[in-house]
Amino acid sequence: MSEIITVIDIGSSAIKMCVAEHSGKKLNLLENLSHPVPIGKDTFRTGRLSRETINSCVDILQDYRHVIQMFRSRNVTACATTAIREASNRDVFIDNVRSLTGIEVEVLSPAQTTFLLAEQLKKKIKSSQCSVGFSLGAGRSELMVFSKDGLLFNASLDIGFMKMNQDFRKNKYTEEYYPAFLEATVENELRPFLSEVAKYPALSLYGTGQELDEIRFVLNRRDPGDKKNSLAVKELIKLYKEIKNYSVEELYHKLQISYESAEGVIAALVTAISLMRMFKASELKLFRMPLGECLLANIVARKSENYTEKMSEGIRRYVENIGNALAFDVEHARHVASLALDVFDETKSLHLMGNTERNYLLAAAILHDIGNVISTRSRQKHSQYIVNAQDFPFFSEEEKNIVGNIVRYHRSSLPKKTHVEFMALPHKSRMTVMKLASLLRIADSLDNSQRQNVKKIRFDREESRLTVTVDSGDEPFSIENSFNTKKDLFEDFFGIKLQLAVERTRK
């Protein structure tokens, strides 16, 4: 049975809409609309959206609503990126759109945007080697390192071509300093990531973005006999030296590009050249990857039965990279995660949760003791702080807060009404935290010695009692004391008494 899916991308310079028909494994694009609107210029210049811009956006979305109704599309996803995310009055914008059009807008984090792009780029490249992707945006740019197994590293860079242009104008510098301003801004933004990206021996560098396409068109027009889908660093440097002191009007006339592109082309050149030097790349391969089409592909992928299950390995690898960067105890983290997932699977008939919640538990279990890098005292609170400071590509803001709260309650105090971050969650999410934290407390108690001696775990239920049998090389009392201390949340929530049975492994 086919389904009509609609995706709306509220970007920095335009609002775009894709309507597609999904049937089986096929996705047929039915409509692709775009309407310019100066959202980014408002946000990056004044920090907020003007009433005129908000009204323009509402008018465009009302027109799009008529198209949605014409196609009878019931699956509508609307997402916004940097320009809305950084506007101080973004909540007013979202509420106005909801009230006047009935469209609910989700604001994507930089990491979520990176994840969508990386997933589709990985499919297009089909390479088993480590590669780097770069998305040049108007407000921010996204850097991603990935392999066939998924995303390895991502960073959101504060070097959008429109934003840098507006920052320069705000400071009222004279035009002659514009190239130097761009070079310093981009260099300062990339420098902190030099040591991190050096860990990944990338073979290819890929780029996407409207401004990069414009540069390619300019170079191809100059050499029409050699149409290229990539940018050579030598050609970019040559073009930059030629045009870096041009005014916007000169760029518009001499390069034969749109006025909007003329405003951002110098910033795009500086960014591309700096990035290629950073990765010692002689070539930047271009790919076309509109965010709306990435969203469409992701919505379809999520409908597959094993999507969430496939995500588990990517989540595991990503959060372990966070832990490794902070020199955590990887063996203890992996063992507790393995035990936690065993407990989850063995108690499904009680908690009635699925693969989505299982992935929350996986991330929380790996990062549960990450707070030790700050202090062993109140480490669960430090762990929550570190989790909250992350920008996970596969979790929304609410989902990240769920993971952070699970980590917070893996030991010591139970959730209380006075705990602000716990109470900030919706009721359903608070219940998810309590269920998963109770399972993580059990798993962590079984590796209290941090020697990974519990090898097997079995659950046997008899009416209101659940016996947990473990095969361990540790002395029984060392496990029993920890287990009895941490079983409280499970017993209180599920109303079932837990009993531990230790079968000593012979050495």
Q: pLDDT per residue over 156-208, tens digit each?
A: 899 999 999 889 988 878 889 999 999 999 999 999 988 887 877 767 899 99
- Between residues 202 and 93, the one the model is more confident about: 93
pLDDT above 60 (res 289)? yes
Average pLDDT over residues 389-407: 92
pLDDT above 80 (res 149)? no
The CATH 3.30.420.40 portion of the chain extends over 3-108
Which DSSP state fits 176?
G
pLDDT at 343: 96
The CATH 1.10.3210.10 portion of the chain extends over 304-504
SS3 call for 8? strand
Q: Is the Cβ–Cβ distance between 363 and 319 less than 8 Å?
A: yes
Q: pLDDT per residue over 294-341, tens digit each?
A: 999 888 888 877 787 778 888 998 899 899 889 899 999 999 999 999
pLDDT above 80 (res 410)? yes
Average pLDDT over residues 401-416: 95
Q: Which helix (H) or strand (E) holds 470?
A: strand 465-472
pLDDT above 60 (res 142)? yes
Distance of CA 328 to the CA centre of its chain: 22
Is residue 161 classed exposed, middle or buried when 0-12, 13-18 and 19+ CB atoms within 10 A define those classes?
Answer: buried
pLDDT above 90 (res 452)? no
pTM: 0.82
Other beta carbons within 10 angstroms of residue 48's beta carbon come to 17
Angle between helices 161-170 and 259-278 in degrees, nearest 10: 110
304-504 topology per CATH? Hypothetical protein af1432 (1.10.3210)
CA distance 8 to 10: 6
pLDDT at 488: 94
One DSSP character per residue, 354-414 reads -HHHHHHHHHHHHHTTGGGGT-STTHHHHHHHHHHT---SSS-HHHHHHHHHHHHTSSSSP
Q: What is the mean pLDDT of the chain?
A: 91
Domain range 111-290, CATH class: alpha beta
Q: pLDDT per residue over 217-253, tens digit each?
A: 999 988 877 778 899 999 999 999 999 999 999 999 9
pLDDT above 80 (res 139)? yes
Hey, what are 481's tokens?
């004391």
pLDDT above 90 (res 380)? yes
Half-sphere exposure of 474 (CA within 13 A, CB side): 22
pLDDT at 224: 76
pLDDT at 474: 65
Among 507, 438, 499, smallest CA distance to 472 is for: 507
CA distance 407 to 387: 8
Distance of CA 81 to the CA centre of its chain: 12
Average pLDDT over residues 368-378: 93
pLDDT above 60 (res 31)? yes
pLDDT above 80 (res 85)? yes
CA distance 53 to 384: 38
pLDDT at 507: 53
Average pLDDT over residues 102-131: 85
Average pLDDT over residues 56-63: 97
Q: pLDDT per residue over 248-267, tens digit each?
A: 999 999 999 988 889 899 99
Burial 219-239, CB ≥16 within 10 A → b, else e: beeeeeeeeeeebebebbeeb
Which of 59-63, 175-179, 318-322, 456-460 is modeled with the greatest confidence?
A: 59-63
Predicted confidence band of residue 145 (pLDDT cuts 50, 70, 90)? confident
The CATH 3.30.420.150 portion of the chain extends over 111-290
- Between residues 500 and 307, the one the model is more confident about: 500
Q: Considering the chain, what percentage of its residues have pLDDT values greater than 70?
A: 98
3-108 topology per CATH? Nucleotidyltransferase; domain 5 (3.30.420)
Distant-in-sequence, close-in-space partners of 137: CB < 8 Å, separation ≥ 6: 11, 12, 81, 82, 160, 161, 209
Among 453, 469, 444, smallest CA distance to 505 is for: 453
